Amino acid sequence: MMTRLGCPMSENDTDKILTTFMVPSDLHTRLKAQGALEGTSMTRLVIEFIEVGLEERGASNRQRLDSFVRLMGRASA
């Protein structure tokens, strides 16, 4: 996958960065179809997927860290 980070999208969107992703054509088709089903843009859909994915990874990381801390506590006892 190739990513290009660019400049703000417009003067009104100074907190946004234009990014280009190359994705497999079948994934692009699925994203477009899902966006059409939900009545939303592919951009909004991708943003939502990224936000949810990051939240899930964060929760998973916290669970692994908690498990490690418990394990280390038992090992030192």
Provide the pLDDT for residue 13: 65
Taking the domains of the chain in order of start, what are their residue ranges? 3-76
Provide the pLDDT for residue 63: 85
Provide the pLDDT for residue 64: 84
Provide the pLDDT for residue 59: 84
The answer to whether 37 and 47 have CB atoms below 8 angstroms apart is no
Give the burial class of 45: count Cβ atoms within 10 A of its Cβ; 0-12 exposed, 13-18 middle, 19 or more buried: middle
Provide the pLDDT for residue 12: 67
Tell me the pLDDT tens digit for each residue of 2-15.
Answer: 434 444 455 566 78
- Please give the model's pTM, rounded to 2 decimal places: 0.60
Provide the pLDDT for residue 32: 93
